[in-house]
């Protein structure tokens, strides 16, 4: 077990692709639930906790995530008055923030144990997580006729390829097969992202959300860029403006 661990750029011609409203995603796929919890554990994210009927806030952390037994282990609540209220059947409302994005879930304690004089709680693996992400960049949509592709690799374990749906200086959206093994919070290597002018960029990105495409057996995945250098940003900006000009050109004229 582990212990607790304490665009100065010209504005685009049109803002219809800009959306700063929060997007709430309900993750119910068991594999993705496990992967998101695993990411929170791997990155030592502190969790805020509330007990039902108690509006006081407490802190805890994940000590283990075990998909084989369908359980997670939480560290003792701090301060102590929180731990004093925990017993079998106690329901905890938990929130972890990674990269500025909250992930929320509810867990019910079915076992309270002690190891090295520190209490811990075994909790059933949650059946769903609520994931909230916010867009803060102008997005340019990619017409289907371009058929631009994105090739992703994760820790050399698997590779996936999908169609590019939209792109911004902050990230991109792409279409993936329903059985894609990725999950929100995964960090991936973008081995190749096609741009409309024939160029290709490579970078690192984090999966921010995944949702079922309406009426299709496909997944839409939103991703955030990590550490783009200035030359890649300039290349992206040219591509975004090119896509926007094409969108404007194709709009019907109005009186």
Rg (CA), the chain: 21
pLDDT digits (tens, 9 = 90+) for 52-110: 888 888 999 999 999 999 999 999 999 988 999 999 999 999 998 876 678 899 999 99
Q: Is the pLDDT of residue 145 over 80?
A: yes
Note the pLDDT of residue 98. Answer: 77
DSSP string, the chain: ---------PPPS--TTB--SEEEEEE--HHHHHHHHHHHHHTT-EEEEEETTEEEEEEEEEEEEETTTTEEEEEPPBSHHHHTT--TT-EEEEEEEETTEEEEEEEEEEEEEEETTEEEEEEEPPS-EEEEEE--SB-EEPPGGG--EEEEEETTTEEEEEEEEEE-SSEEEEEEETT----TT-EEEEEEEE-TTS-EEEEEEEEEEEEEPTTSSEEEEEEEEES--HHHHHHHHHHHHHHHHHHHHHSPP--
Note the pLDDT of residue 129. Answer: 92
d(CA 43, CA 193): 27
Q: Is the pLDDT of residue 165 over 60?
A: yes
* CATH top class, domain 137-250: mainly beta
Which of 10-14, 37-41, 182-186 tops mean pLDDT? 37-41
Note the pLDDT of residue 246. Answer: 72
Q: 166 with 172: CB under 8 angstroms?
A: yes
Q: Check: CATH 2.30.110.10 for 22-133?
A: yes
Q: Residue 249: which region, alpha, beta or left (left: phi > 0; alpha: psi -120 to 50)?
A: alpha
Three-point CA angle 168, 43, 98, nearest 5°:
40
- Output the pTM of the full model: 0.56
Burial class (CB in 10 A: 0-12, 13-18, 19+), 130: middle
219 token code pair? 């997944």
Strand 101-115 to 71-75 pairing: unpaired
d(CA 226, CA 2): 28
Domain boundaries, the chain: 22-133, 137-250
Q: Is the pLDDT of residue 135 over 60?
A: no
Q: Is the pLDDT of residue 5 over 50?
A: no
Note the pLDDT of residue 100. Answer: 65
Q: Is the pLDDT of residue 4 over 70?
A: no
- State the distance between the two ends of the chain, measured CA to CA, in whole angstroms: 68
Q: 64 with 1: CB under 8 angstroms?
A: yes
DSSP state of 196: T
Mean pLDDT of 8-24: 38
Note the pLDDT of residue 252. Answer: 56
């Amino acid at each position: 077990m582990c212990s607790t661990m304490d665009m100065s750029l010209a504005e685009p011609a049109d803002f219809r692709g800009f959306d700063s409203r929060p997007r709430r995603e309900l993750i119910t796929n068991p594999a993705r639930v496990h992967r998101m919890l695993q990411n929170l554990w791997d990155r030592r994210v502190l969790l805020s906790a509330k007990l039902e009927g108690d509006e006081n806030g407490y802190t805890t952390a994940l000590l283990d995530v075990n998909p084989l037994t369908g359980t997670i282990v939480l560290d003792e609540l701090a301060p102590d008055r929180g731990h004093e209220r925990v017993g079998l059947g106690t329901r905890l409302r938990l929130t972890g923030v990674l990269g500025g994005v909250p992930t929320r879930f509810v867990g019910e304690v079915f076992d309270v144990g002690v190891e090295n004089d520190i209490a811990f709680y075994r909790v059933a693996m949650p059946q769903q997580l609520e994931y909230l992400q916010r867009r803060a960049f102008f997005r340019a949509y990619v017409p289907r006729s371009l058929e631009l592709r994105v090739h992703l690799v994760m820790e050399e374990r698997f590779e996936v390829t999908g169609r590019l749906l939209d792109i911004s200086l902050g990230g991109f959206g792409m279409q993936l097969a329903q059985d894609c093994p990725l999950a929100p919070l995964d960090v991936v290597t973008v081995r190749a992202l096609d741009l409309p002018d024939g160029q290709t960029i490579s970078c690192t990105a984090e999966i921010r959300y995944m949702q079922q495409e309406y009426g299709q057996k496909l997944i839409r995945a939103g991703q955030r860029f990590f550490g783009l250098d200035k030359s890649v940003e300039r290349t992206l900006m040219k591509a975004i403006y090119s896509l926007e000009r094409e969108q404007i050109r194709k709009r019907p004229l109005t009186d």
